Chains A and B, each alone.
Chain A
Amino acid sequence: MKKLLSTSAALCFGLALAGSANAYDSTGCGLGSMAWRGQSGIAPQVLAVTTNGTFGNQTFGITFGTSGCDQNGRVSGGTQKMLLSFLENNLDQFAMDAASGNGETLSTVAGIMNMDEKEVASKAYQNFAYLFDSENVDAVDVTLKFYQILKA
Chain B
Amino acid sequence: MRRFVLIFCFFLCGFKNADDLAFSKGWLALVHYQPAMFGGYTATIGSDDFYLSPVGQRDPKAELAATIELFEAEGQEQKKCLFPARFLFLKKHGLLTKDFPKCEEYEQLKKDLAPSGVTLLFTDAYMNNSSSLFGHTLFRIDTSRKGTQLLAHGINYGAYTRGFEDTPFYAIYGLLGFFKGGLTIKPYYDIINTYNNIENRDIWEYHLDLTDEELDFFVAHIWEIGHTATPYYFLSRNCSYMLAEILDAIKPDLNLASEFKVYTIPLDTVKIVDKSKLVKNTTYRPSRLNKIKHRLKQMNKAQYKAFLQLTKGKKTLLENLEENQKSDVLETAYQYTQYRYVKKDLDLKTYRNKSFMLLSERNKIKAGQTFDELKEGQNPVFSHNSAAIALGAGFENGHAFQEFVLRPAYHSLTDNPKGYLKGAAINFLQTHIRHIDYHDKYVLQDLKVLELASLSPIDRVFAAPSYRLDIDLLRTADLKTKKRGHIFNSEFNMGGTYALSDNFWIYGLAGLEGAYGGFLKNNFSVGTSGILGTLLSFDKFGFEAQIKQTLATDKSATVFEQKAVASYHLSQNINIEAQFKRQAKGSATLNEWRAFIKYFY
Contact = CB atoms under 8 A, between A and B. Distances in A.
B68 interface: no
Contact of B238 (A19, A60, A102, A104): A19
A137 to B, nearest CB: 9
B363 A128 contact: yes
A105 interface: yes
B150 A129 contact: no
Nearest to B444: A3
B263 A11 contact: yes
B160 A26 contact: yes
Contacts of B138: 22
B136 A68 contact: no
A140 interface: no
Nearest to A95: B359
A47 to B, nearest CB: 19
B109 interface: yes
B184 to A, nearest CB: 3
Interface string B78-105: 0000000000000000000000000000
A60 B352 contact: yes
Nearest to B346: A61
Interface stretch (B141-149, B506-514, B587-595): B141-149
B39 to A, nearest CB: 24
A27 B356 contact: no
Contacts of A107: 147-148
B158 interface: yes
Interface residues of B, number: 84
A152 interface: no
A23 B186 contact: no
A18 B159 CA distance: 13
Given A21-B134, A29-B190, A76-B112, A92 B355 contact: yes
A65 B151 contact: no
Nearest to B263: A15
B517 interface: no
A132 B363 CA distance: 11
Interface stretch (B300-308, B334-342, B376-384): B334-342
Which of B145, B157, B165, B189 has most chain A Cβ within 10 Å? B189
Interface size class, chain A: 35 or more
Interface string B173-200: 0110001000011110110011001100
A148 interface: no
A18 B134 contact: yes
A107 B148 CA distance: 6
B282 interface: no
Nearest to B449: A10
Contacts of B137: 21
Interface string A20-45: 11111111110010000000000000
Given A19-B235, A27-B162, A95-B359, A74 B175 contact: no
B548 interface: no
A134 interface: yes
A19 B264 contact: yes
A14 B112 CA distance: 40
A19 to B, nearest CB: 4
B47 to A, nearest CB: 17
Given A7-B431, A128-B359, A100 B187 contact: no
B519 interface: no
A136 B352 contact: yes
A111 B148 contact: yes
A144 interface: no
A14 B151 contact: no
A134 B165 CA distance: 39
A22 B156 contact: yes
A63 B197 CA distance: 11
B26 interface: no
Given A26-B156, A27-B184, 5 more contacts: A18-B133, A20-B238, A22-B138, A86-B150, A136-B352
Interface of A: 7, 10-29, 32, 59-65, 67-69, 72-76, 82, 86, 89-90, 92, 95-96, 98-102, 104-105, 107-112, 114, 125, 128-129, 132, 134-136
11 contacts: A11-B428, A14-B449, A17-B131, A18-B133, A19-B134, A20-B234, A21-B266, A73-B153, A75-B145, A96-B334, A99-B362
Closest 4 CB pairs of A and B: A111-B147, A28-B184, A26-B158, A135-B356
